[in-house]
Amino acid sequence: MKTFDQLWAEISAKEAGESGNTGALLAAGIHEIGKKVVEEAAESWMAAEYQSKSDAALEISQLLYHAQVLAKAKGLTIEEIYEVL
């Protein structure tokens, strides 16, 4: 099981253009990452509304991942996010 902070550490270590999904997303930029956040938010809502708890958990985990990638692309630190949480 991975925590929010562990995921943040993994994403923070990635750079745009590196192999893998995170590197590709960072290379695509904020606009494309933002579209993924919106997509995952809708899928999270639909899963919570109409599907099982495990389906909802999966979709919400993907939303959290993409939100963290968006924060990395914007240059935010985890501390800046925690300050306003």
What are the extents of the domains in the chain?
Answer: 4-75
CATH 1.10.287.1080 fits 4-75, yes or no: yes
Residue 19's pLDDT is: 86
Mention every residue, 6+ apart, whose C-beta is less than 8 A from residue 43: 59, 62, 63
* Its pTM surpasses 0.85: yes
Tens-digit pLDDT profile for residues 5-42: 999 999 989 888 888 999 999 999 999 999 999 999 99
pLDDT in the model for residue 73:
97
Q: What amino acid occupies position 18? A: E
Residue owning tokens 């935010």: 76
Phi, psi of 15 (to 5 degrees): -125, 155
For residue 79, give both structure tokens: 């501390």
Angle, CA 1 vertex, CA 22 and CA 26 arms, to 5°: 10
C-alpha 55/C-alpha 8 separation (Å) is: 22
**Residue 67 pLDDT > 90, yes or no?**
yes
Kindly tell me if the per-residue pLDDT of 54 is higher than 90: yes
Tell me what the pLDDT averaged over the chain comes to: 95
